[in-house]
Every structure is written in structure tokens, then in C-alpha cells.
Amino acid sequence: MTEIHHNALEGKSHFAGIWVFLEGRKGSLRDVSVQLIGEGRRLADRRGVPLTGVLPGHDVEALARHAIGYGLDRVVVVDHPLLEIYRSRPFTKVMATLIIRHKPEIVLYGASKNGRDLGGRLHAVLETGLAADCVKFDLDDDGNLDMIRPSFGGKSLAHILCKQHRPQMASARRNVFLAPRHDPSRQGAIVHEAVEISDADLDAKLLEFTEFVREGGARPDEAGIVVSGGYGLGDPKNFGMLQELADLLGGAVAASRKAVDSGWIPKEFQVGQTGMTVRPKVYFAIGISGAVQHLAGMQESGKIVAINIDPKAAIFEIADYGIVGNLFQIVPEMIQQLKELKARPAKTVEAVATIR
Amino acid sequence: MPTGGPIRIVVCIKQVPKAQELQVDPKTQTLKRVGVPSEINPPDANALEFALRIKDDMPAEIVVLSMGPTSFDESLERAIAMGADRAVLLTDRILGGSDTVPTAHALSETIAKIGGYDLILCGEETTDASTGHVGPGIAGHLAIPQVTYISEMRIVDGKVRARRTAEDGSEWWETAMPCLLTVNFGCNRPREPTLSGKIRVKRGGVIVHWSCADVGIDPNKVGLRNSPTIVAKVDTVHLPPRARKLFQGEAREVVAQLLKALVEDGVIAP
Ligand SMILES: Cc1cc2nc3c(=O)[nH]c(=O)nc-3n(C[C@H](O)[C@H](O)[C@H](O)COP(=O)(O)OP(=O)(O)OC[C@H]3O[C@@H](n4cnc5c(N)ncnc54)[C@H](O)[C@@H]3O)c2cc1C
Ligand SMILES: Nc1ncnc2c1ncn2[C@@H]1O[C@H](COP(=O)(O)O)[C@@H](O)[C@H]1O
């Protein structure tokens, strides 16, 4: 069970080039990987170095070609049947071997569950720095990567430097970097690399996979209006009411982690530090208390509306508009009034507002 | 590999300031950490609960492990009172300022010293560092299997089965022991300390303090000086000021006021 141990400190000057770990999924790239290629391109141009994508997988040649179109100079492909799905040990072995072989100065990962699983194991065996969940990158005067990440639920931003060790590694949050346009005519090299992987590297078996299914509706991270429900909803069926509200507003439904953990709505609707970041024009927090981990995912929204029965709920502190009240009265009332607005536009707003 | 005797479970717990109580000092623009009450890092409490449930079902010994100052004893005592058998606190001034690389190194060395482990449980991430890197780092050092972000687990025929939540779906993994799992926050309800547990704490002798020398940890591998990363600076985030306008009264009235305000702001169509 030997695993590569390597102190990356030696010979820092031998390290060159920027790498992006590419995560494939069902024949395409995960969105965070695409976003990272854009950011990697910007950094590589500033450093004047090539940008390489690394794609471990099986039968991924076409995907590698496609990836180049997003702005890569080359893609390193490691093809092996055991790499068909993400597995901690084989992927760590592949990345460690390639990094020791080619010595990139920067390696970036998407902060997906797999990206964090891989990075965490890898940085320990390589003994080099890894900054998690970065939202911004810069280069300092000495050419070190300035890895900028939220700390304490986004109340502050920490600048992390890895000055002596190489490669400098970081994971990046999803949906903070813009996805670059795809240019199918872009030229780049595909480089096949062999890394020895055997059944001995297979230390865990995937028994079962149940895909989360999204039942139509807009994606919260792309919607202009987000109607988010929390534990205050009390029951999964009440998300139906939020969906109706979201439909009337032309928005999308989302949720707090506690609603997700209760099994009321799939994980992919979760907003917050361990979910997604959203920045809609309006964010409705309904029956959500406003824990820092939740705020981390929505505090940059245009307007924040809070509906909560508890006047002391933390969510009111960052709300533009708050209604202290029972969501089971407020939400149906909103639905009702929005329907009225739809039926008789323009005048109704004043008409309703003047009822006293 | 368990050989019929009790299995040994090591649960890594960190003591953290209660996230909800952390405030930015308006004068210094830094986080006020003094006087903030502490707790067991919430997902670590979920990890401990899994260990305790295993112990409810089969012979097991639960060792809680933490690295930090002696004030962390408070959380270790709570873990014992909840039902853990014993605790190890790795505490040494030279560990100060360790990032995830030395932390994973020091914890894995300490686990190796504890020895005979079958299962290592960590939280998915801490609320203060929030990297989630220490668990996989320990697994990498010990060269054992890891399954991260798990919400359910059981031991079947001497193997661990665990349900991992990824972005796209949920995965059931099976792996031999020894292995390391990182546990999702909120996936179970950590039990309360019991009276008999509290008595065991009172009697003493259940928590040991080890220094780096006790474990045989190389001083050139830990601490701020041997951490690859440094925090060069911290910027306070200046969030847009919020109006914090509260509407009060009858449902019909407050909703009308809210909709009017949103229409006037131009964020919803009239
Ligand atoms: C490591 C870690 C990561 C985390 N990541 C995330 C994350 O990404 N996203 C996230 O959201 N959380 C996250 N959390 C969890 C977070 O700390 C909170 O536990 C969670 O956000 C609470 O969800 P909630 O507001 O829905 O539930 P609660 O805190 O239980 O709040 C429910 C609210 O509903 C209100 N309410 C109840 N009934 C009514 C009613 N009839 N009408 C109106 N209001 C009502 C209550 O007053 C209360 O304020 C994380 C925690 C940890 C430890
Ligand atoms: N100082 C520590 N002592 C014990 N366990 C720790 C410590 N730091 C991190 N851990 C464990 O590693 C997990 C992930 O921590 P982190 O990588 O800091 O987010 C935590 O949930 C703990 O289980």
C-alpha cells in the first residue's frame, strides 16, 4: 500500500505552468471545470505560461478535444477503465504522479465534493499548500498565486499565499468565475500519459448510485428571482406553495441546508457555504433563520426579503424588507395578490396598498 | 481488520467558536474571538454520534482525538460524557499556526500511535477553517481508504458501507477497514451527555495529553513555520447596506406594502 510521499519544497524554480483538473461528467465537463479554464487562462496569460487541463477518465478523447475550445493549450489525458468514475485513491495516484513528473507551479481544482476529496488527500501526500473554496485569484509581486477565499461565513476574505512549496494548489467555488465562450476552432495538443493503476488501487467499491432528479423549473443560480424555503416550512409538500410563488414571479425555488437535510428537496437546490452561491435581483428567504453558512451563499443578492415568525431571526439583519409573520398566511396572500396583479396590471398595486 | 474483539473507532473532533456568535469588531475590522463560547465542531458531533451508534450495536471502543490548546478539554469532556471511552489531546506550543498539512500529519501520527484502529471518523469540515482537507489528508498519510461527505453508514460483515452525497446524486460505497469517513453535518442527532458519562469525566483519567515528543512527531513538520500556506492578510467584506425595513400589520396589508416596494425598486414587474 505504498503511496507517493513527496516534499514539494525541493527545487521550487523547476516548477512551471498552470494546470486545471478537469472533472468529467456524463461525457461533458462539470460547469466549475469550464469556469476554471477561463480563470486559468487569465492567470496563464499574466504569467506568460501555458495552460494545461488534466483529464483522468476512460474514453475521454472527444471530451479532451472539446475542452481545448474553452481556452486550454493542451490536455493531458490519462485513460484507464478504473478511472471511469471518480475514486479517491486512483485519482490521487494519477495526479500525484503527473505533478511529480511535470512539476506545474499552480494546480487548480473545482471545489466540488470530488475536487475537495481529491485535493485534501493529494496535498497531504505531496506536502504542499491547498487553499479551499477560492472566489478570486491574483498574482503577487513575486509571482506567487494570491488565493482569496471567504472566511467565517463570508464575513471576511483571506488572502492565502504558498510561497515556498510547489505546486501552489487551490480549489475554486462554483459559479464565481465566468464560463468562457467555447471556440471549436481553437487548436491545442492532446497528450496521453500512462500512470500505472491496478486493482490494488481499488480500495472502495461503488455499490449503488441514485441520481438526484430535478423536476423541471428554473435553476436558482441562473434565475433573477429566487424563492428560498427553510425548515420553517415544516413539511416537504409546502415547497409546492413556494413553487407557485416562484412561477408567478418568474423565478426559481431554492432551499436552506436544513430543508435539504430533512429530505424535503434535493441537494442541488441548497444555497450556502456548502451549497451554491446565488446573486439574484431578489432573494426571498422564507422560514430561514439566517445562519452564517446560509448567508454565505446569498448575501450578495440585489434585494433580500425575509419572512419569518421570529422577530429576532438573524435573517432580518441583512434583509432589505422583512415581514414578521406566519409564512402560512403571508405566502398564500402573496400568491393571491400577485394573481390579482397579473389579472389587472398597473393600477392594482396602489389600490391594494391603500387599503388600510 | 477486526478479529472478533471490539473494533476501535477514532473520532477526530475540533473545538470551534460558535459560528453564530462571531461578530466583526466595527473598530478594528477583525473578528472578535475572545469571549465567544465554544462548541464541538458541529459535523464532528455527528461523526461522534455515528461512532456511538456502532457501539450501541457491537463491541467497540471510541477514542476521541483532538489537536489544540488545553481549553479543548471542554469538548473532549463533553464527548466522554456523551459516551466515548477515552480521549487524547495532542497539545504542544510548537503546533501553533499549523495549516492543514501539518494538522493532517500530526493527527495521523497520533492515530498511528494510538494504534489498532479500524475506523476513523472526521467531520465534513470545520466551521472556522472550513476546508474539509484534514480528513482526506489523514487518510492519505495512513494510506487507507476514504469515503467523504457521508450521511449514513453501517458495518456489514466487517466492511463499512456508507452513503455519500455528491452534487449529482447519492452513492453507496463499500470499503474494508481500516478506513476513514468524513461525516455530513446534520445527518443525525447527536445525543446529549448522560449522568453516568459525566461521572466518568469527574472521576478523571479518561483524557490524556500528549506532546509532539510523546508521539514522536518531527518538530520540523509542524507549526506555522512548516505550514505551506500563510494568511497574508484578511479583508473585511463590505456588504451592501440593507434597508432593514420591517412591514407590520395584517397579512393583506404587509404583503401589499412589500410588493409595492419591490415594484418601485424595479425588481419585480408591476
Ligand atoms: C459545516 C456546515 C456547513 C453548512 N452549510 C450550510 C449551507 O450551505 N446552507 C445552509 O442553508 N446552511 C448550512 N449550514 C447549516 C446552518 O448552520 C443552519 O443550520 C441552517 O442554515 C438552518 O436552516 P433553516 O434556517 O432552514 O432552519 P432553522 O435555523 O431551524 O430556521 C427555521 C426558521 O423558520 C422560522 N419559522 C418557523 N415556522 C415559521 C412559520 N410558520 N412562519 C415563518 N417562519 C417560521 C423560524 O423562526 C426559524 O427562524 C451548515 C452548517 C455547518 C455546520
Ligand atoms: N485540530 C483538530 N483536531 C482534531 N480534529 C481536527 C482538527 N482539525 C480538523 N480536524 C478534523 O478534520 C475535519 C475537517 O477539518 P478542516 O479540514 O479544518 O475543515 C474536522 O471536521 C475534524 O474532524
Q: Which of A168, A201, A234 is the last residue of a domain?
A: A201
* Ligand 2 pocket: which of B11, B16, B41 to mutate (most atoms within 8 A of CB): B41
Residues A66-97 have pLDDT tens digits of 999 999 999 999 999 999 999 999 999 999 99
Predicted pLDDT at B26? 58
Q: Which of A166, A201, A236 is the last residue of a domain?
A: A201
* Ligand 1 pocket: which of A308, A318, A324 to mutate (most atoms within 8 A of CB): A308
Predicted pLDDT at B29? 55
Confidence class of residue A289 from pLDDT cuts 50, 70 and 90?
Answer: very high
Contacts of B166 in chain A (CB under 8 A): 112-114
In a domain, A95, yes or no: yes
Tell me what the pLDDT averaged over chain A comes to: 92
Confidence class of residue A1 from pLDDT cuts 50, 70 and 90?
Answer: very low
Confidence class of residue A26 from pLDDT cuts 50, 70 and 90?
Answer: confident
Cβ–Cβ below 8 Å for B185 and A333: no
Enter the ipTM: 0.94
Residues A283 and A188 in one domain: no
Handedness of CA B14, B15, B21, B26 (dihedral sign): negative
Residues B107-142 have pLDDT tens digits of 999 999 999 999 999 999 999 999 999 999 999 999
Contacts of B105 in chain A (CB under 8 A): 124
Where is average pLDDT lowest: A219-223, A336-340, A341-345?
A341-345
**Counting atoms of ligand 2 from 1, which one is nearest the CA of B138?**
12
Predicted pLDDT at A268? 85
Q: How far is the CA of A294 from the centre of ligand 2 (A)?
A: 21
In a domain, A211, yes or no: no
Q: How far is the CA of A293 from the centre of ligand 1 (A)?
A: 9
Confidence class of residue A354 from pLDDT cuts 50, 70 and 90?
Answer: very low
Predicted pLDDT at B4? 66
Contact partners, residue A169, CB within 8 Å, separation at least 6: A106, A107, A108, A109, A119, A122, A123, A128, A129, A130, A131, A162
Contacts of A302 in chain B (CB under 8 A): 267
Residues A70 and A182 in one domain: yes
Q: Which three cell numbers stand for residue A88?
A: 479517491
Helices (H) and strands (E) in chain B, counts: 7, 15
Residues A234 and A186 in one domain: no
Across the range A315-343, mean pLDDT stands at: 95
Cβ–Cβ below 8 Å for A305 and B258: yes
**Counting atoms of ligand 1 from 1, which one is nearest the CA of A287?**
34
Residues A129 and A43 in one domain: yes
Confidence class of residue A269 from pLDDT cuts 50, 70 and 90?
Answer: very high
Q: How far is the CA of B132 from the centre of ligand 2 (A)?
A: 7
In a domain, A218, yes or no: no
Q: Is the pLDDT of residue A327 over 70?
A: yes
Cβ–Cβ below 8 Å for A121 and B136: yes
Please report, as a single letter, which amino acid is at residue A278: V
Is any ligand 1 atom within 6 A of the Cβ of residue A275? yes
Where is average pLDDT lowest: A323-332, A336-345, B45-54, B206-215?
A336-345
Cβ–Cβ below 8 Å for B133 and A88: no
Q: Which three cell numbers stand for residue A76?
A: 493531458
Predicted pLDDT at A355? 44
Instruction: Spell out the domain ranges in chain B.
Output: 7-226, 239-270
Give the gap in angstroms from C-alpha B16 to the nearest C-alpha of chain A. Answer: 11
Q: How far is the CA of B241 from the centre of ligand 1 (A)?
A: 23
Predicted pLDDT at A223? 93
Predicted pLDDT at B24? 62
Domain of residue A247, residue span: 225-355
Confidence class of residue A344 from pLDDT cuts 50, 70 and 90?
Answer: confident
Q: How far apart, in whole angstroms, are the C-alpha atoms of residue B71 and residue B12? A: 16
Give the gap in angstroms from C-alpha A76 to the nearest C-alpha of chain B. Answer: 24
In a domain, A104, yes or no: yes
Contacts of B144 in chain A (CB under 8 A): 203
In a domain, A219, yes or no: no
Q: How far is the CA of A157 from the centre of ligand 2 (A)?
A: 21
Query: Which residues, given as ranges, of chain B have pLDDT below 70?
Result: 1-4, 20, 22-33
Q: Is the pLDDT of residue A40 over 60?
A: yes
Q: Which three cell numbers stand for residue B15?
A: 473545538
Residue whose entry in the numeric block shows the C-alpha cell 388600510: A356
In three-state secondary structure terms, B110 is: helix
Q: How many domains does one find in chain A?
A: 2
Contact between B148 and B158 under an 8 Å Cβ cutoff? The reply is: no
Where does B7-226 sit in CATH, by number? 3.40.50.620
Contacts of B170 in chain A (CB under 8 A): 209-210, 212
Contact between B38 and B93 under an 8 Å Cβ cutoff? The reply is: no
Contact between A74 and A186 under an 8 Å Cβ cutoff? The reply is: no
Predicted pLDDT at B32? 66
* Ligand 1 pocket: which of B130, B185, B187 to mutate (most atoms within 8 A of CB): B185
Residues A280 and A326 in one domain: yes
Across the range A299-328, mean pLDDT stands at: 96
Predicted pLDDT at A2? 35
Predicted pLDDT at B33? 66
Please report, as a single letter, which amino acid is at residue B106: A
User: What is the DSSP track for B131-200?
Assistant: ---HHHHHHHHHT--EEEEEEEEEEETTEEEEEEE-SSEEEEEEEESSEEEEE-TTSS-PPPP-HHHHHH
Predicted pLDDT at A341? 87
Contacts of B255 in chain A (CB under 8 A): 323, 330, 333-334, 337
- What stretches of chain A show up as alpha helix (H) in DSSP? 31-47, 61-68, 88-102, 113-126, 239-249, 257-261, 292-295, 327-343, 347-353
In a domain, A220, yes or no: no
Cβ–Cβ below 8 Å for B248 and A324: yes
Contact between A241 and A234 under an 8 Å Cβ cutoff? The reply is: no
Contact between B177 and B157 under an 8 Å Cβ cutoff? The reply is: no
B22 to chain A, any CB pair closer than 8 A? The answer is yes
Nearest CA in chain B to A305: B258
pLDDT-above-70 percentage for chain A: 93
In a domain, A213, yes or no: no
Residues A52 and A159 in one domain: yes
Is any ligand 1 atom within 6 A of the Cβ of residue A270? yes
Instruction: Check which CATH number belongs to the domain holding A232 and give it.
Output: 3.40.50.1220
Contact partners, residue B4, CB within 8 Å, separation at least 6: none
Instruction: Check which CATH number belongs to the domain holding A126 and give it.
Output: 3.40.50.620
Cβ–Cβ below 8 Å for A210 and B243: no
Residue B105 main-chain phi, psi, to 5 deg? -60, -55
Cβ–Cβ below 8 Å for B253 and A356: yes
Q: How far is the CA of B131 from the centre of ligand 2 (A)?
A: 9
Give the gap in angstroms from C-alpha A38 to the nearest C-alpha of chain B. Answer: 22
In a domain, A209, yes or no: no
Confidence class of residue A7 from pLDDT cuts 50, 70 and 90?
Answer: low
Cβ–Cβ below 8 Å for A334 and B258: yes
Predicted pLDDT at A350? 52
CA nearest to A147, candidates A54, A43, A75: A43
Residues A47 and A170 in one domain: yes
Across the range A38-61, mean pLDDT stands at: 97
Q: What is the dihedral of CA A121, A126, A128, A132, to 10 degrees?
A: -20
Q: Is the pLDDT of residue A59 over 90?
A: yes
